Amino acid sequence: MVAAAKFRKAQQRMFELRPYAERMSEGLSRLAANLEAEIHPLLAVRPRKNVEVLVITSDRGLCGAFNTNILKAGAKHVADLKSDGFNVSISSVGRKAKDYFKRRSVELRNSWTGISGKISYANAQEIAADIIESYTNETVDEVIIVYNEFKSVIAQKVVVARLLPLAPIEAATPDTLPVFNFIYEPSKEEIFSSLVPKNVEIQIFRALLESQASEEAARMSAMENATKSANEMISKLSLQYNKARQASITKELMDIVGGVEAMKG
């Protein structure tokens, strides 16, 4: 019941933000579709050498395979990148990811914990500022985000997506999007210097909310399954107890009857 109440709140926040995040990426893609040159550092596509992987999990357990699926996908992607010759750094959100990599002696570049259940936009801004700084300083050439996308109460999808350079903008071409002759006011540079970092914050915020809704849905399902299993175990043990009790009573009655018959003889 507690998980259900938290899930409804997390689901509402996620549903409210999802269209905004999608439209923002689409809008920036349209604006950048026919730019003559890259006008913002976060749009710069460099040869990949250093890749950062941001893994988003929960702080608490008791949510089924929610964290396990994320950590397996994140670890596999890191291993694939390393096998391809890339230098990989890892950042994490959630205590489960931090503990997972700590147990495997994997050093994290940065980590954020204690935000599950109380996610705010300020959390996304803090994470985005750290990632943007690493990218603009050319410490990393690409940032990958791994999180659970909410599909339904019983289904979550592990998403491994590129966060930087901004994939929606970089992927926009005159062949895939309509081309318009926009009038930029005050200027392209000022517009993109404001909107591009904002888009990174929004996409991270969306991933956090998607993960939160998925976590509460998984926890609700896990608690429901646990309750069902407990009730089944109680019924089974009660049946065994009643059978044992009945056998004991029957044995005692047989002993009494046997004793009476012996006295008669």
Tell me phi and psi for residue 87, to 5 degrees. Answer: -85, 125
Residues in CB range of 175: below 8 A, 6 or more apart: none
User: Helices 66-83 and 188-264 sit at what angle, rounded to 10 degrees?
Assistant: 130
Rounded-to-integer distance, Cα 52 and Cα 145, Å:
9
Q: 225 or 248, which is more confident?
A: 248
Residues in CB range of 123: below 8 A, 6 or more apart: 112, 115, 205, 208
Tally the C-alpha atoms within 13 A of residue 19's C-alpha that lie toward its C-beta.
Answer: 3
Rounded-to-integer distance, Cα 230 and Cα 232, Å:
5
Q: Which residues are catalytic?
A: 63
Average pLDDT, the chain: 85
pLDDT classification of 178: cutoffs 50, 70, 90: low
pLDDT classification of 35: cutoffs 50, 70, 90: low
Instruction: Give residue limits of the domains in the chain.
Output: 2-222
Instruction: Tokens for 139, please give them.
Output: 């410490």
Residue located via tokens 């849905």: 217
Do 163 and 56 form a contact (C-beta atoms < 8 A)?
no
> Residue 211 is inside which H or E element, if any?
helix 188-264
Cβ density class 234-251: b for 16+ within 10 Å, e for less: eeeeeeeeeeeeeeeeee
Tell me phi and psi for residue 50, to 5 degrees. Answer: -110, 120
| Burial class of residue 214, CB neighbours in 10 A (0-12, 13-18, 19+) | buried
Strands 50-56 and 87-93: parallel
Beta bridge pairs of residue 221: none
In the chain, at which residue ranges do the beta strands (DSSP E only) sit? 50-56, 87-93, 110-112, 142-152, 155-164
Q: State mean pLDDT over 153-178.
A: 69
Share of the chain above pLDDT 70, in %: 89
pLDDT tens digit string along 121-132?
999 999 999 999
- What pLDDT is recorded for position 171? 44
Q: State mean pLDDT over 94-104.
A: 93
Do 151 and 218 form a contact (C-beta atoms < 8 A)?
no
CATH code given to domain 2-222: 3.40.1380.10
pLDDT over 70 at 34, yes or no: no
- What pLDDT is recorded for position 37? 46
